Amino acid sequence: MTPNIKVTDVRIVKLRTVRHVGEIEPAWSPGRKTSFNVGGGSFTEVQTDAGITGIGPGMHPMLLDDVKEYLIGKSAFAVEDHAAALSYYVTTLAYQGVAGVDMALWDIIGKAANLPLYKLWGGTKEKIIPYASMVVLSTPKERVDQAVSLKEQGWKAMKLRLHYETLSEDIHLVESVRNAVGPDFTIMVDANQAQSNGNWQAGVIWDYKRAYETALELQELDIFWLEEPLARYNFDALARLNAEVEIRIAGGENNPGIHEFVQMCQMDTYKLLQPESMVMNGITNLRKIGNLAELYNKELVPHHGGGNIGVIAHQHLVASWRHAPYMELLHDPPIGDYRHKFSIMLNAPQIDVDGYMPLPTMPGIGVEIDPGLIIK
């Protein structure tokens, strides 16, 4: 391994769309559509004077000049310095920011060490358990049919969205799925009440009473966690709820700052933390949240990582953390099938018949982009 490897260029590489799959309306964003394609999008590429190239999720083109001005000529190994500087000098954009640069630098480090990242970080898990994270708000029958199908395919866990007008409708959905899959299948639920950093957001808005009563009902159904039951910065109410119920209260995907997670741990707002690398500018900062969670005896399951390369980076993190029981994988087929996002990779991991996803064996992040999709 050669620590003096220098960055020579940073590029945004565009990918050809093979096929438009369709659009669906996410439960957390009523009235808006999310598109799913085979192929398409872009990725970030960092080149070095050693001939080693790292890749990460794409970033917004308006950031490229600032990133290049800062990074070119510097050591690819100085990830702590770069994470701090890029967060300061470059505009922060959730899901379109410098997270891809940070991941690409770690990819370079892993390749230089000839180790997959999870092994570089001391991890020993060679496979992890993904949970199928639903996207749309479906009828109880639709979700029951899908839950049964997922279990038959080998999946071990799924997450449902709670966005009905009434508590009784939400609980009916969850109860229907629990009765269909039995006790040996893990169910999480997400209220998505933290999408806005204020007091208003689209869709049904919960108050403390709704959150508390929902948590009590979910406990009786053996639900693994209740996610984002209140606004993201309502730390006092979250801490109160976390203390008053037994079910795991989870959240953190929309919180961009390490200092926020420190405060959340100090106030005990959540039993389970869900940081997102695409919000926190990369996996360098997420590794810090992993250490913080362990110090405060909390479980940790990162948010979905944007759907493609970021998911694989999160897979390495989960494999290196002893207190991470699952990994989120957006999977709401047929349109929201995770394999659509993974289609840009030649060697993307797949869920096996026992519900596990094996870790990449190649060095670094360990995936290859399909060269046939690259737009020259």
CATH class of 7-114: alpha beta
pLDDT band for position 291 (cuts 50, 70, 90): very high
- Percent of the chain scoring above 90 in pLDDT: 91
Position 2 scores a pLDDT of 53
Range(s) within the chain of domains with CATH label 3.20.20.120: 119-371
Q: Which pLDDT value is given to residue 70? A: 97
pLDDT of residue 52: 98
CATH code linked to domain 119-371: 3.20.20.120
Residue type, 102: D
Q: Is the pLDDT confidence value at 371 over 80?
A: yes
128, pLDDT greater than 60? yes
Q: Are strands 17-24 and 34-39 parallel, antiparallel or unpaired?
A: antiparallel
Closest CA to 360 of 347, 372, 351: 347
The pLDDT of residue 3 is: 67
User: Model-level pTM?
Assistant: 0.96
CATH 3.30.390.10 placement within the chain: 7-114
In this structure, how many other beta carbons lie within 10 angstroms of the beta carbon of residue 168? 10
Contact criterion met (CB below 8 Å) for 315 and 343: no
Report the DSSP pairing between strands 225-227 and 248-251. Answer: parallel
pLDDT of 373 strictly over 70: yes
The packing angle between helices 309-320 and 99-113, to 10°, is 60
